[in-house]
Amino acid sequence: MILNVYKEKNMTSRDVVNILNKYFNIKKIGHTGTLDPIATGVLVCLIGNDTKLVNIITANKKEYIATMKLGVKTDTLDITGNIIEKKDYKVDKEKIVKVLNSFLGESMQEVPKYSAIKINGKKLYEYARENINIQLPKRTINIYDIELLEYNDDTIKFRVIVSKGTYIRSLINDIANKLNTVAVMSDLIRTKQGIFTIEESNKINDILNGNYKEVSYEKVFSNYEKIDLSDEDYFKVKNGSIMPINFNNDEVIYTYKRKYIAIYEKINNEAKIKLMFN
């Protein structure tokens, strides 16, 4: 089962999974990208055998509406942390737009110290809580689109579309640096992840009342090329056999009698299995 869940404020992503564990009476549940407790919006949850789709869905672009508060910086880079710096600021709309646009494209981003990224088997936030300084890793991110929505006194609100692994807290910190000040993330809404939108997300109370809508494979994989298998090829695919490349794109979904069987991908001029559906 694939569920587009609306994560509410002051809940962790793990809290949502725990609620679903209890309601569906199943332990095998995953999600496709952690949201901070102060954040709201789209949290795609995969239940049972569909957890194998985590990597595919996680790879999708994400859209956020972020709000940043100028002039103050915290240890967590969001409004919930301890203040570590205050700084004056002098900005205008033109300068903000110019700085936002400067982040378009590929760049390196430093992971925030309060994150679950592991270094030597230990999570970064564990080092931070123990006041142990450690060199923070950097990763390549991509900003596909960014747009100023509002600017009012000490508050900037913007919309942004990013690649997986992008930390909006870190992006806000970098934006503030280019504005020659400091800032924190004061609010965050994930409005979209791939085909999953906030408008179609299920509220947790609705789910608990049995009033929810699953997301179909047809919708999730609407952009994939699909080929229906003959009886002979069906048994080959079910056994994970290498297949001839008879498709146009890098990946294909093989179906059989209207059922999803497997995803194959092109590797060295051969079609090899990437994922087997149940």
Catalytic residue among 15, 36, 50, 250: 36
The tokens of 27 are what? 């332990």
End-to-end CA separation in angstroms for the chain: 12
250 catalytically annotated: no
Task: Report the alpha-carbon angle 256-261-264, nearest 5.
Answer: 115
Given a contact cutoff of 8 angstroms between Cβ atoms, the answer to whether 178 and 102 are in contact is yes
On whether the CB atoms of residues 1 and 23 are closer than 8 A, the answer is no
CA 54 from chain center: how many Å? 11
Residues 6 or more apart in contact with residue 76 via CB below 8 angstroms: 82, 112, 114, 169
CA distance 17 to 19: 5
Residues paired with residue 83 on neighbouring β-strands, in sequence order: 74
Q: Catalytic site residues?
A: 36
